[in-house]
Structure 1
Amino acid sequence: MSTTTASALPPGPRLPSIVTSLLMLRWWPRVVAVCRRRYGKVFTLTNSVMGRMVYLSDPADIKTVFAGDPRILHAGEANSMLSGLLGETSVLVVDDDVHRECRRSMMAPFHRDAVARQAAVMADIAADNVAGWPAGRPFAVAPKMAEITLEVILRTVIGASDPARLAELRAVMPRLLRVGAWESLALAKPELLQRRPWRRLRRLMAEADRLLYAEIADRRADPHLDERTDALAMLVRADGGVAMTDRELRDQLITLLVAGHDTTATGLSWALERLTRHPDLLAKAVRAADEGDDEYLDAVAKETLRIRPVVPDVGRILTEPVEIAGYRLPAGVMVVPSITLVHDDAGIYPDPERFDPDRMLGVTLSPTTWLPFGGGNRRCLGAGFAMVEMRVVLREVLRRVELATTEAPGERQRIKHVILTPHRGARITVRARRTGVSSSNGAYG
């Protein structure tokens, strides 16, 4: 057992914080990987935006964080820069009792049975989209996956059904969620929204709010509210036990859009990027899709999220000193369980650079060694929803088109906000369309 070091942070590079920020903005996973090799499983980075960050890659230390007192380990405070977009009551940016009650209120739409009822809708949305994919030429599949996952959220989470409003939401939401680094400054400092360079973002946010509040009003007035299965209806009915105000509902809907749209689309894009570079595994996945082998498709999704995690790490800000990894860390420090470092640890996953879905078959994954959705009381609410969506969409793609394999090098990870996306958009080629595919409804009923 290590001896606790008093009043000292773990070692780390002695770079100006702005330099560290710029390096992480461009090479986030690479920076932490280099630090892991040089300083060991715990090290400190000082970032001009996030302050002092103590990175952790030992599962035992990560367990200490995930199992720790949420009053001392604040994830909402660590996410506070998102409140300009998500809102002050978003489940991602609140802490303590407020977070616990908010999370409890949002559980119902993400229970296993509730998610299973949405699988047929997910399949139909995917099938309709795949029908329009070009054949015989390479194209970036990431934008197609983003269309699918956005439509899934609009129809199953928000429950939008009015054609005109659906069309407006389809147009506005991608533009709002594509904000760049420059526009993101105004999300961290909302007062900037009043200035000229950020007025476009303010208009987009206002338009999104108008549409979401209209959906909320429709749901509150719906005489058939009790029969609806969309997440918004469940939240309005207070299936989780605590009724929300319109503002709280708006904040949670934006949160679900941001947290569940690009992330799942990116995971799906990486899955196809990986499969098309492994002919044997692609053939096995096609057989699984044809035969309804959910276990193997789940394994493909899990291994994809291991080798290409969508989010590189998660953070908790300490509200008082805590002993972790042999150090007594002071209040104000952010502890950062590193998803990328754990998933790339050869001691946990032998030959970690090898894409191998079989390693995910018949195993019980530990929440401190497979953590693409975070962990502890802040584990992603929609993790089960995302895994079902990945399996369903992969099945529909593999059942409906024949994908060409490639010997091209794997696509690099590109940082988009806090998401690691394929740098060329996960380019694939549809060799041919498969015939004799029945309607998806029967397979997911």
Structure 2
Amino acid sequence: MTATYPPGPPLPAFVQGFLYIRRRSLILPPLRRRYGDVFALRVPPFADKLVVFTRPEHIKQIFAGDPRDLHAGEGNQILGPIMGAHSVLMTDEAEHARARRLLMPAFNGAALRGYRDVVAEIAGAEVQRWQPGSTVITLDRMNALTLEVIMRVVFGVTDARTRAALAPRLHRIVTIGTIQYIGFLKPALQRFAPWRAFHDNLVAIDDLLYAEIAARRTAPDLAERTDVLSRLLQAGGETDADPPLTDAELRDQLITLLLAGHETTAAALSWALHELAVHPDLQQQAFEAVRTDDDKTLEAVMKEAMRLRTVIPGAVRKLTGDMTIGGWRLPAGTVVSCSILLAHRSTENYRDAATFRPSRFLDGEVEPNTWLPFGGGVRRCIGAGFSLMEGTTVLREILNRYSLSAPAGAKPERGRVRNITTVPRGKAKMVVTPRSDG
């Protein structure tokens, strides 16, 4: 079989790229209806040839494939200038496997149980500041909350001055605009605003992180500390295959954990709270779960929000050689995408796919390779458990204190693309009323 590509739209590449990056929820469903379960796109500067797969069996083939044949790191290279060359998202094969081995213990079950109390403390302090009867701008508050979680639980920054210097700079990374970021990929533009400002901000963050890493290495209580950075500083060295992480590697992993775990979780929480606010019956069920310590139901709320309101559109791999996937013989260099958005919206995968119904995650009806917010295979997000733990903990703190409702006259919430995430366009505003049934 000769190498070939599936059909796709005849639009100019720059138009396809714009629509995919900025209007993906509008363009992808019509393309699937027009071209079927597999179609091709041109989305510069992301990929000259992107082949989109949507069926569970095709997604399973990609996720289960040999990582030597399917490079996720190469597929994510557009993120490299910020995340760094050593990031677990940027590397492949042996280098990726080593990074993952060193990172995983900081995200295992025992570690997550240790982080839960800190997350609850941060969430409780956030909710305590809300005024009863006020309208909360949910996306802004969840962004602030999850950033505080990253700084304390992941970075382990406890010094008030360091946190005050670091927080606004980290926020600027997360909120960079698409044009600003694409321009940042061209070093010549970094002499001009706004790209120079972003470059200078990244340099300042690096200086702060390297100073924190150096101080932490010599901290007398390093062995007793439980934040992720402190755990990573003590990881490795047992074998020649897993030497300890260097300062540059630590920096790249910390920035990766920030970008992969901050706005994505904030967006998912915002969508979950919005859906509970507009579905009082489901909100009451979630409150009953809080009262009975039923974390499975709260986790199902988070999972269903991640499904219905997909935050990240796809998981990509770059082929290192010719490969047949889903009956298509694709040449080396092709970037293949498992479309999370289309898999989540498929009526073949989900009964009443357009309905917010968390119980589907409790009834055993969600089939493998149909729910994909954390990717899959050997590249499944190492922070998946952390994200779900954080989400359920925050929901518990909020619902234990307040009932939620949509503001009077509020329009239905729609999504908009910010960077690579889909967030509520109206920031998911909600009115918080003290509970009388707590």
Normalised by the length of structure 2, the TM-score is: 0.95
After superposition, the C-alpha distances for 1:216-272 in whole angstroms (9 at most, x for unaligned) are: 012101111111111101110015853011111011101101110000000000001
Q: Counterpart in 2 of 1:189? A: 186
Q: Distance in 2 between matches of 1:105 and 1:202?
A: 29
Q: Distance in 1 between matches of 2:34 and 2:15?
A: 18
Give, in angstroms, the shift of residue 355 of structure 1: 0.4
Q: Counterpart in 2 of 1:441? A: none
**Pick aligned residue for 1:114 from 111, 115, 134:** 111
Q: Counterpart in 2 of 1:151? A: 148
What SS does the corresponding residue of 1:395 show, helix, strand or coil?
helix
Q: Please tell me whether residue 309 in structure 1 is matched to residue 310 in structure 2.
A: yes
Q: Counterpart in 1 of 2:364? A: 363
Q: Which amino acid aligns with 2:216?
A: R
Q: Please tell me whether residue 376 in structure 1 is matched to residue 377 in structure 2.
A: yes
- Residues 55 and 423 (structure 1), Cα distance of their counterparts in 2 relative to 1, 3 Å cut: same
Q: Counterpart in 2 of 1:424? A: 426
Tell whether the 8 Å contact from 1:105 to 1:238 is kept in structure 2 after alignment. yes
Q: Counterpart in 2 of 1:440? A: none
What SS does the corresponding residue of 1:51 show, helix, strand or coil?
strand
Q: Counterpart in 2 of 1:267? A: 268
Q: Distance in 2 between matches of 1:52 and 1:108?
A: 37
Q: Distance in 2 between matches of 1:221 and 1:7?
A: 55
Give, in angstroms, the shift of residue 182 of structure 1: 2.4
Tell whether the 8 Å contact from 2:349 to 2:367 is kept in structure 1 after alignment. no
Q: Which amino acid aligns with 1:88?
A: A
Q: Distance in 2 between matches of 1:218 and 1:273?
A: 41
Tell whether the 8 Å contact from 2:152 to 2:227 is kept in structure 1 after alignment. yes
Give, in angstroms, the shift of residue 189 of structure 1: 2.9
What SS does the corresponding residue of 1:424 show, helix, strand or coil?
coil
Q: Counterpart in 2 of 1:173? A: 170
Alignment of 1:380-399 (within 5 A): 380-399=381-400
Give, in angstroms, the shift of residue 290 of structure 1: 2.1
Q: Please tell me whether residue 16 in structure 1 is matched to residue 12 in structure 2.
A: yes
Q: Distance in 2 between matches of 1:47 and 1:404?
A: 39
After superposition, the C-alpha distances for 1:113-149 in whole angstroms (9 at most, x for unaligned) are: 1011010100010010111223334332001001111
Q: Please tell me whether residue 223 in structure 1 is matched to residue 245 in structure 2.
A: no
Give, in angstroms, the shift of residue 110 of structure 1: 0.4
Q: Which amino acid aligns with 1:387?
A: L
- Residues 289 and 191 (structure 1), Cα distance of their counterparts in 2 relative to 1, 3 Å cut: farther
Tell whether the 8 Å contact from 2:68 to 2:320 is kept in structure 1 after alignment. yes
Q: Which amino acid aligns with 2:431?
A: T
After superposition, the C-alpha distances for 1:154-207 in whole angstroms (9 at most, x for unaligned) are: 111111111111121222211222111222024433453244441111121111
Tell whether the 8 Å contact from 1:108 to 1:239 is kept in structure 2 after alignment. no
Contiguous gaps of at least 5 residues in structure 1:
438-445
Q: Which amino acid aligns with 1:201?
A: F
Tell whether the 8 Å contact from 1:63 to 1:368 is kept in structure 2 after alignment. yes
Q: Distance in 2 between matches of 1:81 and 1:405?
A: 38
Tell whether the 8 Å contact from 1:169 to 1:208 is kept in structure 2 after alignment. yes
Tell me how many residue pairs correspond in the alignment.
432
Q: Distance in 1 between matches of 2:25 and 2:403?
A: 33
Give, in angstroms, the shift of residue 408 of structure 1: 4.5
Tell whether the 8 Å contact from 2:175 to 2:418 is kept in structure 1 after alignment. no
Alignment of 1:23-422 (within 5 A): 23-49=19-45, 50-238=47-235, 241-363=242-364, 365-405=366-406, 408-422=410-424
- Residues 251 and 13 (structure 1), Cα distance of their counterparts in 2 relative to 1, 3 Å cut: same
Deviates more, 1:51-60 or 1:287-296: 287-296
Q: Which amino acid aligns with 1:178?
A: T
Q: Distance in 1 between matches of 2:249 and 2:43?
A: 31
Q: Counterpart in 2 of 1:442? A: none
Q: Which amino acid aligns with 2:150?
A: I
Q: Distance in 2 between matches of 1:33 and 1:436?
A: 43
What SS does the corresponding residue of 1:62 show, helix, strand or coil?
helix
TM-align CA RMSD? 1.7
Tell whether the 8 Å contact from 2:56 to 2:369 is kept in structure 1 after alignment. yes
What SS does the corresponding residue of 1:118 show, helix, strand or coil?
helix
What SS does the corresponding residue of 2:17 show, helix, strand or coil?
helix
After superposition, the C-alpha distances for 1:42-100 in whole angstroms (9 at most, x for unaligned) are: 11111122211110011101111001111111111111111111111111111111111
- Residues 239 and 149 (structure 1), Cα distance of their counterparts in 2 relative to 1, 3 Å cut: farther
Q: Which amino acid aligns with 1:238?
A: A
What SS does the corresponding residue of 2:172 show, helix, strand or coil?
helix
Tell whether the 8 Å contact from 1:267 to 1:310 is kept in structure 2 after alignment. yes
Q: Which amino acid aligns with 1:380?
A: C
Q: Which runs of 4+ in 1 moved over 4 A?
A: 364-367, 405-409
Tell whether the 8 Å contact from 1:105 to 1:235 is kept in structure 2 after alignment. yes
